[in-house]
Amino acid sequence: MYLSMDRNATAKIRLYVEHTLGQGQSVPLSREQAHYLFGVMRLRVGAHVLLFDGQSGEWRAEVVEAGKRGGLLVVEEQTKLMQMPPDLWLLFAPIKKARTDFIVEKAVEMGVARIVPVQTDFTNSGRIQRDRLQAHASEAAEQCGGTYVPEVTEMRRLDRILADWDTKRRIMFCDETQVDLQPNLLPQKGPWAVLIGPEGGFSPDERDRMQKLAHTHPVSLGPRILRADTAAVAALTFWQLQMGDWT
């Protein structure tokens, strides 16, 4: 399939759409999408937009109808093949709204396949707005050039998640109490999850349970206590450098 090499010269705005994309496909716009493209970004008929659906890569489309409440795009050609992230999940305890948004955004940028909010013994936030976080993940994929949008799941209790866990997926357990772990190396490639605790850390019971599981691998993120959002970025960087698509 032909891939356009001059896509950046003709289209710079990227948009995630829930429509299967292909050459010649018509893509109707929602009111919110039309407002963004035509009200905020001031696009007009004849302009080009980069689209991705999370399944078939990135495509260039032309604006053929532009209105205040809707619009229509027609797909012209593929500009980027589908690129899947590593088989990595991020499990984290939600914190304040803006910092939770930051964690979701950076998780998408750094290449995770699924984002799993968890309720731990010391989690400060009792609930999340999953739809809002999922929309935030889509926006992050638009900005970072990704072609895949990871699923943001509903929040579940950590103990219930561990009870149902497929032990073929190893867990990189970021334990802030073990700052002298050496060597800080992961044992093998394959399905992984990174687990980040809440602002108050894991409870003694949670830490004891994690340390007894054969499929968990505790790691240290250094000699200083990191904020939860900083720890998420540090842990994903650590994993990517050893196991991911950065190497």
Examine the domain organization and report whether 171 and 190 are in the same domain.
yes
Mean pLDDT of 58-84: 96
Please tell me the predicted confidence (pLDDT) of residue 187. 84
**Burial grade of 214 (CB within 10 A; 0-12, 13-18, 19 or more):** exposed
Q: Are residues 42 and 71 in the same domain?
A: yes
Whether residue 36 is found in the same domain as residue 150: no
- At residue 45, does pLDDT exceed 50? yes
169-207 confidence digits (pLDDT tens): 999 999 887 766 555 678 888 999 999 999 888 999 999
For helices 97-110 and 228-243, the axis angle rounded to 10 degrees is 10
Does residue 2 carry a pLDDT above 50?
no
133 and 16 in a single domain? The answer is no
The last residue of a domain, from among 80, 97, 125: 80
127 and 205 both lie in a single domain:
yes
CA distances 161 to 2, 93, 116, 183, 189, Å, are 44, 13, 10, 28, 22
* Shared-domain flag, residues 208 and 120: yes
**pLDDT for position 5:** 44
Residue 27 has pLDDT above 90, yes or no: yes
Query: Which three-class secondary structure state does DSSP give residue 77?
Result: strand
Is 13 domain-assigned? Answer: yes
What is the residue-averaged pLDDT of the chain? 91
Judge whether 42 lies within some domain. yes
**Listed residues 80, 114, 136: the one ending a domain:** 80
pTM above 0.95, yes or no: no
155 and 208 inside one domain: yes
Angle at alpha carbon of residue 225, lines to 246 and 190, rounded to 5°: 30
Residue 1 within any structural domain of the chain:
no
Residue 147: inside a domain, yes or no?
A: yes
Task: Determine the 3-state secondary structure of 231 from DSSP.
Answer: helix
Q: How far is it, in rounded angstroms, from Cα 69 to Cα 59?
A: 23
Helical ranges in 87-194 per DSSP H: 97-110, 130-144, 158-163
- Kindly state whether residues 13 and 93 are assigned to the same domain: no
* pLDDT > 80? residue 168: yes
Q: Tell me the CATH number at 37.
A: 2.40.240.20
Residues 6+ apart with CB under 8 A from 235: 172, 174, 194, 196, 219, 221
The amino acid at 34: A
Regarding whether 100 and 57 lie in a shared domain, the answer is no
Q: Per the domain annotation, does 183 fall within a domain?
A: yes
What is the domain extent for residue 62? 7-80
- The residues, any chain, with a CB within 8 Å of residue 55's CB and separated by 6 or more, are 20, 82
Chain centroid to CA 104: 6
The fraction of the chain above a pLDDT of 90, given in percent, is 78
- Domain assignment present for 139: yes
Q: Give me the number of domains the chain comprises.
A: 2
Tell me the CA distances in angstroms from 54 to 17, 21, 150, 191, 217, one per residue in order. 8, 10, 9, 20, 31
Question: Of 80, 96, 116, which closes a domain?
Answer: 80
Whether 9 has a pLDDT exceeding 80, the answer reads: no
Same domain, 140 and 199: yes
**CATH number for position 143:** 3.40.1280.10
Predicted confidence at residue 246, as pLDDT, reads 83
SS (H, E, C) 188-216: CCCCEEEEECCCCCCCHHHHHHHHHCCCE
Does residue 46 share a domain with residue 151? no
Residue 187 placed within a domain: yes
